[in-house]
Homo-oligomer: A and B are copies of this chain.
Amino acid sequence: MSHSPADPRRALTLRDVSEASGVSEMTVSRVLRNRGDVSDATREKVLEAARTLGYVPNKIAGALASQRVNLVGVIIPSLSNLVFPEVLSGISKELEDTGLQPVIGVTSYSPEKEESVLYEMLSWRPSGLIIAGLDHTAAARTMLENAGIPIVEIMDVDGTGVDSVVGISHRRAGLHMAEAIVAAGYRRIGFLGTKVTQDYRAQKRLDGFKEGLAAAGLSLSDEEYYSGGSALLKGREMTEAILKRSPDLDFLYYSNDMIGAGGLLWCLEHGYDVPGRIGLAGFNGVDLLDGLPRRLATMDACRREIGARAAQIISGRGQSGQIGGEVIELEPVLQLGDTIRKA
């Protein structure tokens, strides 16, 4: 374990490398960033010195001096939702060879937490920001407006964005699901969802769903809500509860696939004829569904593509040459699966 003469545990700086290789700090900096003209001889010398010393550049200093930061902030409500890791994977794949790096912040569906996470992120002066949802506190919105960097609000297009927006219309997703259910002949429809009132998108889906029912002269026959715990198990419990209370229901609409899957398993075990006697549908299109005994009807939320398109906008590789304020509405695809009877 070699160490510099002065202090054995001092962090290395450009100066150490420059002294070790006998050139100026500036030249070392140029070599390490592949910038400007440097002769092959000195380049080798410098790289050699940096390698043997184990030098790691200090990006904090670099960013301050160059006024450039290769970070992209990504703010999402949760990591356990399964949806967001997929969005993230779309983002990081797209950012892969742009030199940009995502930094993740999690809000736990709390607007106050979102505000503080956003503040913290902006204080690192990222070169772009991707944030889930269109609904923020007034302070958060102001920060976004004044940040002076590209902002992309994702997941949702039902509302007004600060800058660019990439997502689907959750209202219309709910609406279309309702239409498909009604078209298939179901009439006594129950809804099962999360209690979290801060999940604006689930709320919008429900609103659209009710709207779709209303257009056919129908309304929700019963509802059931949960919070916390294993979603699959909750799906079972809620399904049992709602069917006990309202045995005449002929359709159950779940706010996400996980509880829908639980409900599906419960119905099959209890001998319900699915989709004859009762129909089921969820939301999201998680690939978990492929392994279930029967494929749950769902609607793909285009998670990976949302991530990819958002990242493209930040990296300036958006298909439109637009400079900002871009709005991309993706179309969620209804997958009937095996739990809605064919009309």
Contact = CB atoms under 8 A, between A and B. Distances in A.
B79 A88 contact: yes
Given A79-B89, A124-B60, A143 B288 contact: no
A333 interface: no
A277 interface: no
Contact of A148 (B9, B106, B229): B9
Contacts of A146: 1, 54
A27 interface: no
A101 interface: yes
B80 A85 contact: yes
Contact of A291 (B88, B142, B235): B235
Contact of A92 (B88, B106, B233, B234): B106
Interface string A283-296: 00001111111000
A232 interface: yes
A88 to B, nearest CB: 6
A69 interface: yes
A119 B54 CA distance: 11
Interface in A16-67: 54, 56-61, 63-64
13 contacts: A54-B142, A56-B122, A58-B123, A59-B123, A60-B63, A80-B85, A104-B104, A230-B287, A230-B290, A232-B292, A233-B290, A234-B291, A262-B291
Interface of A: 1, 9, 11, 54, 56-61, 63-64, 69, 79-80, 85-86, 88-89, 92, 101, 103-104, 106, 119-120, 122-125, 142-143, 145-148, 229-236, 261-262, 265, 269, 287-293
Nearest first, the 8 A-B pairs at minimum CB distance are: A232-B291, A233-B291, A230-B287, A79-B85, A233-B290, A230-B290, A59-B123, A262-B291
